[in-house]
Amino acid sequence: MHNTGDLFSLEDDNMILQINSPKESISGPYAVVFKNLAIVALNWDQQPRLGIRWFWGNGGNPFSSGHGTWLVIPPTLTHSMLSGIPLDHAFRRKVDDFLSGVISGHQINN
């Protein structure tokens, strides 16, 4: 998706979820976990993970070959990252269930 920099609207979850680069490695993203910067639940090489990106400048970060991309968070950092942001308890449980493989990404927002 182009235009993922400072003019990008963080108010529209659907716009955030349209960022799907690199396409050969990402399925989803399924849910916006946190805004200000965007944290999403996605599959990276068929494994549940969190992705993060910042929206600033002409393309935001990370940015590759003209497309906004996701920085995939290593599993060892996932718990610390989620603990540092204010999330509704029920939603946090669904994100944890996704990351543990209990539910699919499509079930997070249901």
pLDDT attached to residue 92? 96
pLDDT attached to residue 49? 97
pLDDT attached to residue 16? 84
pLDDT attached to residue 43? 95
Model confidence pLDDT, tens digit, residues 41-97:
999 999 999 999 987 766 677 778 878 889 999 999 999 999 999 999 999 999 999
Q: Which of 101, 99, 102 is nearest to 50 (CA)?
A: 99
pLDDT attached to residue 1? 57
Q: Taking the domains of the chain in order of start, what are their residue ranges?
A: 13-107
Alpha carbon distance 101, 46 (integer Å): 11
To 10 degrees, the CA torsion angle through 87, 91, 93, 98? -120
pLDDT attached to residue 14? 85
Beta strand extents in 10-57 (DSSP E only): 26-34, 38-44, 47-53
pLDDT attached to residue 45? 93
Are 66 and 2 contacting, i.e. CB atoms less than 8 angstroms apart? yes
37-to-45, 47, 77, 88, 102 alpha-carbon distances in Å: 23, 22, 17, 17, 26
Are 70 and 27 contacting, i.e. CB atoms less than 8 angstroms apart? no
Please tell me the pTM assigned to this model. Answer: 0.72
